[in-house]
Structure 1
C-alpha cells in the first residue's frame, strides 16, 4: 500500500488525510500540537462562505491599509517595520492586482465545489459541528460601500454564486436581531456556518477509524525527497521534551505539506518557494448564558463590511465574532486593543447580548500574495502541497483536499 505523510493536522491536513484514505492510501499525519485543530483551525469566524471569496488584491485595499496603519483599532493593521519577507510579499500582492477579477471568480468556483465534499463527509461520518444552513448576510451602511459590493458581486456571479441584493426591509426580515439601520446588503442562501474545531476533530476521528495514523506532539525537524522516497524526521515537541526525546525518521512514498504558516519553511527544505505570510485574525466567543442573550443573538451569519467583522451562531449558547487582519509577523499575542472593537461591535448591533464574559483568540492565516492556495506537486518528485488558503481555509479545504488527492493518484507513486 502506498504510504503518504501529511504535515499538519489543521483543517487542510485532516481533510487531505481523509480524502487520501478514501482512495486507499496508508496515511500518517504529523503535527506539533497534542491534538488536531489546535492552531488556526481552533476558533475562526465559522463561515463556510463562497460569498466572501473576493481576493484582497486591489488598490482600494492598499489605500485602506495605508490609511489605517496607525490606528490600533482599525480592521487592517500593518506593522511598518520592514522585513524582506513582508516587502517581498507586498510586492507580489501588488503585482497580482491585475488578476483580481480572474482570481475572485476562480476562488468562488472552488468554494462552491468544496462545500459539496465537506458537507457530504459530515453527513457520512455523522459529525456534529453546530452547522447552521441559514445563509450569510452582508450588510452595508454607506452608499459607496454598497456600490462597491455590487461591483464585487459581478465577479462572484461569474464564478457561479447565486446571491441576491436585499433592501433594509429584507435585512430586518432575514435577521431581525440587528439593532442598527443598514442601507442595504447581499444575501447568499447557499452559504452556512459551523464550528471548524468540532468539524476538524470529528473528521480526524473518522480518518482514524479508516486507518489514518496521527503522530501528535511531533516537531518535524527536516523533510527530504528524492526519486525513491520521502523522509520525515521528527522529535517530541516542547522545550523539555525536545531536549531528551528521541529523534525518529520514517520513509514514505509521498509527502503533502499542509502546515499553515509553517509551510513556507518546510517548502524551502524541499527546494520550493511558497511566499506565505502570517496574517493574524482575532475572534471572541460570546457565551449566551441567559435567555435574554440567546434571544437577542443572531442566527443568520453576518458580515459587516464597514467593520470587516463576521458572526456565526454556534448552537443555542455561543456566538462567534471575528475579524481584523494584522500584518505583524509570526506571533500569537492577543492584544486587547484588537479584541475590544469586536466586543464593542456586539454591544452596538445586539445591545441586549451580555458581553461581561467573552473568550478571546488569535490565529495566523497562511496567505499567499495572490490569495490563492498552493495545491499540487512541488519541484521534487513525491512532494505535494495543500496550503496557503488565507481567510478561506475552511471554506476551500475539502475542495483542495480532493484536488491534491487526485494529483497524487495521477502521479502513480
Structure 2
C-alpha cells in the first residue's frame, strides 16, 4: 500500500520508518526543505517517561491564574478572540481533577515506556548517533510545596513501572555534581535512571537518511493546503510546491503535522482539540566541563528541562498559549537564561545563548491522538505536546500495527475519530 505521511518532524519520520518496515511504499510530505526543522529542531532533548504528569492537574488552575499577568511565567495563557483557544482552555480545566490526572499519567507512562524501548531497539539496529546520553533524568525542586506536590504523581508512576525514585538533596548532588551551587536550596528531588536525552533534530535527520536508503520518498518544500475527498475516503492531498498547485495521491494518509494538524482536520469536519503551546529553548556552549551537567535535569518549579548535547547545553521549557505566532518573546528567553545561570553559573557561556521557539501541538490532557480517523484511509499521529520526542517511536510503531490490522503492543487508548 502507498501511504503518504504528512509531516517530517520526529513523529512523521518515525512513522515513515515503521510503516516501511511493514512493507508499505511511503512518501513523506513537508513544507520545509529538510526533516526536523520545526518543533523538533531545538526541543528540550529529553526522552522522559518520568515527565508524565500532565499540565492539567488539581494545582494547575490556581497557578495559571497567578501567572496570567506575569510575562515570564512558566505557563502563560494570553486570551484571544479565538474560539479554539477558549474551547481548549475549558477542556483543560475539565481535565484538572485528581481522577483524570491519574488516568492521563497512566496513558503517558504506558506509551512512554513502550516508546523508550522502541527507541533503544531502533538505535541499536541502525547505529544512530544523536548526542544521546543514557544517564537518567533528575527532577529537582527548590520550592518545598512543589516537591511535596510531586510525591503522589511519582508514586503513581512507580506503580505503573516508571521507577521514579524520591531522593534528597545530598543524593541529587551525588548523581549530578553540577547542582552543588544550589545544594542548600534543593528541597528534594526524584531520579529516573532509565530515562535518556539526546538531540531530537539529529535523530530525526539521521533516521530520515535511513528512510531514504530503505526507499521512502520525500516531497520537501511542499505545503499541504487541504484534501480531495469523496464520502469517507481521502482521494488526495492538495499541495503547493515551487509556486505550483498539484494533488498528491496515495492509498492512505497519516496526519502528523503537529499544531497544524487541527487546522487541516477542520477542513474535513473533524475536530482535533490541539492548540499550539509555544515553547522556548536556549542552546549554549559548555564553558567549564566540571561545572556543566551530564545527567539530564528537570527544574519543575520553572518548567525547564536541561539536556547535555556533546559540547552544548540545551535548556528548554515554558508554554505560551497565544495562537500560531512564532516570533521570539525576549522576556521569556531572558528568563530561561537567568534561571539556568542561577542554577549553574559557571557551566556555560550564558551570554552566547542561541534562542529558539516552536509550537508544541498540545491537547488539554497531554495525551496524543494516535489511530484511525472516521475516514477509511486517514490515520492520526499528532498532538504529542511536550513529549513528541519521548513518544515518537512508540506512537509510530503502534500506528504501523494499527494500519496493518494488528493490536499494538502497548496499553493505550487509541483514537477512533
Please tell me the TM-score bracket, short chain as reference.
over 0.9
Judged with a 3 Å threshold, the aligned counterparts in structure 2 of structure 1 residues 126 and 230 are, in CA distance, closer, same or farther, namely farther
- Matched residue, 1:367: 362
Contact 1:136 1:300 (8 Å CA) reproduced:
yes
How far residue 371 of structure 1 moved from its aligned partner, in angstroms, is 1.4
- 2-structure distance, mates of 1:229, 1:44: 32
How far residue 225 of structure 1 moved from its aligned partner, in angstroms, is 4.0
Q: Per-residue displacement from partner, 1:331-382 (whole Å, max 9, x unpaired)?
A: 1111110011111122211111321211000011101122110011111110
- Matched residue, 2:103: 102
- Matched residue, 1:16: 15
Judged with a 3 Å threshold, the aligned counterparts in structure 2 of structure 1 residues 29 and 166 are, in CA distance, closer, same or farther, namely same
- Matched residue, 2:239: 234
SS at match of 2:129: coil
How far residue 63 of structure 1 moved from its aligned partner, in angstroms, is 1.0
| 2:170 aligned with 1:176 | no
- Matched residue, 1:89: 88
- Matched residue, 2:69: 70
Judged with a 3 Å threshold, the aligned counterparts in structure 2 of structure 1 residues 228 and 177 are, in CA distance, closer, same or farther, namely closer
How far residue 59 of structure 1 moved from its aligned partner, in angstroms, is 3.3
- 2-structure distance, mates of 1:55, 1:347: 27
SS at match of 2:12: helix
Judged with a 3 Å threshold, the aligned counterparts in structure 2 of structure 1 residues 57 and 346 are, in CA distance, closer, same or farther, namely closer
- Matched residue, 2:78: 79
| 2:340 aligned with 1:343 | no
How far residue 295 of structure 1 moved from its aligned partner, in angstroms, is 2.5
Contact 2:30 2:222 (8 Å CA) reproduced:
yes
Contact 1:225 1:383 (8 Å CA) reproduced:
no
Residues 125-204 of structure 1 mapped to structure 2, 5 A cutoff: 125-178=126-179, 179-181=181-183, 182-204=186-208
SS at match of 1:165: strand
- Matched residue, 1:309: 304
- 1-structure distance, mates of 2:102, 2:306: 26
Residues 244-263 of structure 1 mapped to structure 2, 5 A cutoff: 245-263=243-261
- Matched residue, 2:3: 4
- 2-structure distance, mates of 1:191, 1:395: 9
Residues 280-295 of structure 1 mapped to structure 2, 5 A cutoff: 280-288=278-286, 290=287, 293-295=288-290
**Number of residues paired by the alignment?**
399
Residues 31-70 of structure 1 mapped to structure 2, 5 A cutoff: 31-70=30-69
Contact 1:261 1:365 (8 Å CA) reproduced:
yes
TM-score normalised to structure 2 length: 0.93
SS at match of 1:356: helix
SS at match of 2:350: coil
TM-score normalised to structure 1 length: 0.94
Residues 353-364 of structure 1 mapped to structure 2, 5 A cutoff: 353=347, 354-364=349-359
- 2-structure distance, mates of 1:147, 1:154: 12
- 1-structure distance, mates of 2:341, 2:40: 26
Contact 1:106 1:159 (8 Å CA) reproduced:
no
How far residue 113 of structure 1 moved from its aligned partner, in angstroms, is 0.3
- 2-structure distance, mates of 1:404, 1:30: 18
Contact 2:233 2:375 (8 Å CA) reproduced:
no
- Matched residue, 2:321: 327
Contact 1:270 1:380 (8 Å CA) reproduced:
no
Contact 2:227 2:234 (8 Å CA) reproduced:
no
